[in-house]
Structure 1
C-alpha cells in the first residue's frame, strides 16, 4: 500500500543567507507582499495578535501571500536561502509566545487567503487558509448554516482547525478537525497536495492536531451544519464560599453522562480584576430555545445578572467577544476533574497562589 511520508517544515535547510537578504529576495520575487518594520501594514499585523506575548515578537519582515501559488514560491525560496526561520499565522489567536510569530525571522500572515465558497449542495464550505471564523459566519447565516469554528471574534481557521478546535457544536459533532473533508497543503518541498481520507491519508490524519508541523494549509474544506438562532447567556456571581460550593455542584451535575444534552455548551471563568475575585459563566444552546432547563441549576444560584439572547451565531460570537478584554497577555491551562470537593480545593489553591507575595 502506498504510504505518504510526512515532511516536517522544521527540517534542516542548507546554511547561508541572512533573514534580511531573504526578505529582499522574497520582495523581488513576489512584489507587494513583503512588509518591513515601521510600515503601517507591519504594525497593524503585529498589533492584531490576541496575546501580549505574541505582540512582543518582531519579525524581520512579514509576508502576506494572496494565493496558494505564492505560498509555494515562498517555501521554495526559503529552502534555497539557508537556515531562515519563519512562523505562520492565521487569526493570531493562540496564546503562547512563538505560536504564530517570530523574532528575527519571517512571519507569514495568511489572512489575505480568506475566501469562502459553498458547494452546490451546500454541504461543504471551502475556506481559505487565512479565513477568520467571525468573518465567515455572517456569510453562512443567510443559508441557515454554520461550520465548526471559533466561539469568539478573530479566531482563524489555520491554527484552530489543525489544533483540534472546540466549537458550539462539539458536544454533537466532536472537534473541528473531525469535520474536515480535505486540506489543500503546501509541503516543505513547495509541492501542493490535497489531503483527504483517501488521498494522502497519513497527512490528512496528521493535520488533526498536527498544527503547522506538516505543511501550510491554504484551504480547508469543512462540513456545514444547519443552524438558525441559538441561545447565549452570561451570568456573573459574587465570589463567596456558598456560591463556589453551589456552582461546583451544579457544574459537576451538568457534566454527568446522565444529564448529557448535545445542544448545551458552557464555559466557567474564575478571574481577578484587581479589586477582588469573581466568577462567571458563558452558556450556549444550539437550538432556538430560550432559557433551556439544562442550565436551571446555575440560574438558581444568587447572581448579578448578565446578557441573554436568542440570535444567529455571528451575533452570539460578537456579544461574547465584548466580554473579553483586548490587548492583554493571557495564559490558559485546562484541568478536568469529577469531584465537587476537588473542584473547591483546586479553586482555593489557585486563589492562595495569586494572593501570595
Structure 2
C-alpha cells in the first residue's frame, strides 16, 4: 500500500521544484510584476476571490501583468519549464477550487489588463480581459451604448464571455460571445494572435463557449448597440404562491413571440437553519418602461414586497459584494412546464429540508429564460460552439447555488447537490423535458458542459485544440476549469457503461 504514496510524494517534489524554478524565471524577466507569499500584491489577489475554495489555494507566485506582452512572456516561460502549471484569474468569480487559482504553481491575475476603449464611431468596445462588467457599463453609459455583458457588475469580462455569457440583453443580441468581433489571445507557444472571422476563424468560433482550452485571451473587442435606461421590478412572494409565480414565468418564457426586452430571474431561496423558503423575482425590461405589460401576470401575484424603478445599466449592475463563503454551482436546462417546475420544488424541498450542516447552508435555485430568439443571433459572427439551435423552441435554465461558511461541510453539500440534480434530471428525462445543454458558467466541477454541446461541436473543439496547442499545454498545464481531455474520458466512461 506504500507504493502509490511514494509516487505521489515524488511527483509533488518534482512539481514544487518546477514551480520554484518557474517563479524565479518569471521574477527575473518581469520583476516586481511577480509577487510571492505574504507580499501585499500576493495577499491582495488571494483576498479578492469570491469563494473560500479558491482563496484557500496558495500558488508559488502570482503574476500581475499590465500588458499583453507580459502575458506572452509568462506563457512562454511557464510552457518551457517542466513541472510548472498555471491558473488564470480574471475577477475570480468561479466558485470551484482551481478554476482561477492553483496550489504551488503560477496564478496569472489579469486584473491589471482592464483598459476600455471605444472606437471613434462607438460601434466596438475594446476591453481588457481582466476588467469587471461594472467598469465596462460605467464607461459606456455616458455614450448611450452598451454591450452584452454580465448582469452582476462584479463578474469578470473574460470568464463570462468565454463560457457563452448570459446578459440582460441576450434575447435582443444573443450570448455575450456572439457579440465578440475579435479576440486578442496568447497561444501556448507565447504567440500573440487575433482571432476573428477573417483570421484564425476556427479558433474564433472555438473561443465562443470553449472556455480556457485554447489560449489566454488578453482583450475582447465587443460589438456595441444603442442603450439608455432600463426598468427593473423586484417581487418577493411567500412560497405558498409558487403555483401562480411559476405559471406566470412559464407563460412568459413559452411565448412564441418572446419579448426581446425581457430579462427575468425567478429564485427560490431556502435557509437550512430557519427551514424557510422565499421566492424572489427580478424582472428587468431593457427599455425605460415602468411596469411593462409583459410582467403583469407576475406582478399580480400577492407579494411580500413589490418595487419598480427606472435606472441605468451601471446602477443595476452595481451589486454589493458578498462576504467570502464556500460556494457551489450546478445547472440543467429544460423545456417549459409549470407542472414540472412544481415537481422540481417538491424534489428540492424533500431532499433539502432535512439537510442542515454545521453552520447552515443557504440554497438559491434560480430559473431564467433560454428563448429561441436569443439563439438566433449566433450566426451574425460565424456561430458559436454551444450546440443550441433556435428551431428547438424556448427553454429555461436552472442554476442551483449553495453558499455556506463551514468548510468542513464542503463534501456533504456537494453530495446533496448531486442528489438533487440527479433526481430532477431523471424526472425531467422521463417526462421528455430535459435538454442536454449545460451552461458552463453555471456548471459544477462534476458536470461535463463541453460534452453537452453535442458530438459535432465537441469534436470540433478537440481539433482546434490540437491545431493551436499541439503539446496540450492548456489541457494539462492549465488544469483549472473544464478540460476537453477530461470530458473525453468521461464520455468514454459513459459509453463503456452503456455497452
Q: TM-score, normalised by structure 1?
A: 0.91
1:307-344 Cα shifts (integer Å, max 9, x gaps): 422111000111xx24x743222223333242211111
Could you tell me which residue of structure 1 aligns to residue 326 of structure 2? 329
Q: Is the 8 A contact 1:234 1:306 kept in 2?
A: yes
Q: Within 2, Cα distance between the matches of 1:50 and 1:227?
A: 30
Could you tell me which residue of structure 1 aligns to residue 37 of structure 2? 37
Matched, 1:153 2:150: no
Matched, 1:298 2:295: no
Matched, 1:350 2:348: yes
Could you tell me which residue of structure 2 aligns to residue 47 of structure 1? 47
Q: Is the 8 A contact 2:16 2:104 kept in 1?
A: no
Structure 2 unaligned regions, length at least 5? 1-13, 356-499
Q: TM-score, normalised by structure 2?
A: 0.66
Matched, 1:268 2:269: no
1:251-281 Cα shifts (integer Å, max 9, x gaps): 1101113351000011111112332111101
Could you tell me which residue of structure 2 aligns to residue 178 of structure 1? 178
RMSD: 1.7
Residues 97-108 of structure 1: pairs in structure 2 closer than 5 A:
97-108=97-108
Structure 1 residues 304 and 15: CA distance shift in structure 2, 3 A:
closer
Report deviation, 1:304: 1.3
Structure 1 unaligned regions, length at least 5? 1-13
Q: Is the 8 A contact 1:16 1:82 kept in 2?
A: no
Could you tell me which residue of structure 1 aligns to residue 339 of structure 2? 341
Q: Is the 8 A contact 1:253 1:259 kept in 2?
A: no
For 1:31, what is the secondary structure of its paired residue? helix
Q: Within 1, Cα distance between the matches of 2:16 and 2:93?
A: 32
Structure 1 residues 15 and 304: CA distance shift in structure 2, 3 A:
closer
Of 201-210 and 267-276, deviating more is: 267-276
Could you tell me which residue of structure 1 aligns to residue 490 of structure 2? none
Q: Within 2, Cα distance between the matches of 1:302 and 1:342?
A: 22
Could you tell me which residue of structure 2 aligns to residue 227 of structure 1? 227
Could you tell me which residue of structure 2 aligns to residue 135 of structure 1? 135
For 1:332, what is the secondary structure of its paired residue? strand
Structure 1 residues 95 and 306: CA distance shift in structure 2, 3 A:
farther
Q: Within 1, Cα distance between the matches of 2:239 and 2:229?
A: 32
Q: Is the 8 A contact 1:17 1:82 kept in 2?
A: no
Q: Is the 8 A contact 2:170 2:176 kept in 1?
A: yes
Residues 187-226 of structure 1: pairs in structure 2 closer than 5 A:
187-226=187-226
Q: Within 2, Cα distance between the matches of 1:232 and 1:206?
A: 34
For 1:222, what is the secondary structure of its paired residue? strand
1:8-56 Cα shifts (integer Å, max 9, x gaps): xxxxxx9995212211221111011111122222222122112222122
Q: Is the 8 A contact 1:17 1:81 kept in 2?
A: no
Q: Within 2, Cα distance between the matches of 1:300 and 1:205?
A: 43
Q: Within 2, Cα distance between the matches of 1:22 and 1:104?
A: 11
Q: Within 2, Cα distance between the matches of 1:206 and 1:73?
A: 24
For 1:282, what is the secondary structure of its paired residue? strand
For 2:310, what is the secondary structure of its paired residue? strand
Q: Within 2, Cα distance between the matches of 1:168 and 1:326?
A: 25
Report deviation, 1:306: 4.5
Q: Is the 8 A contact 2:101 2:107 kept in 1?
A: yes
Of 148-157 and 178-187, deviating more is: 148-157
Could you tell me which residue of structure 2 aligns to residue 246 of structure 1? 244
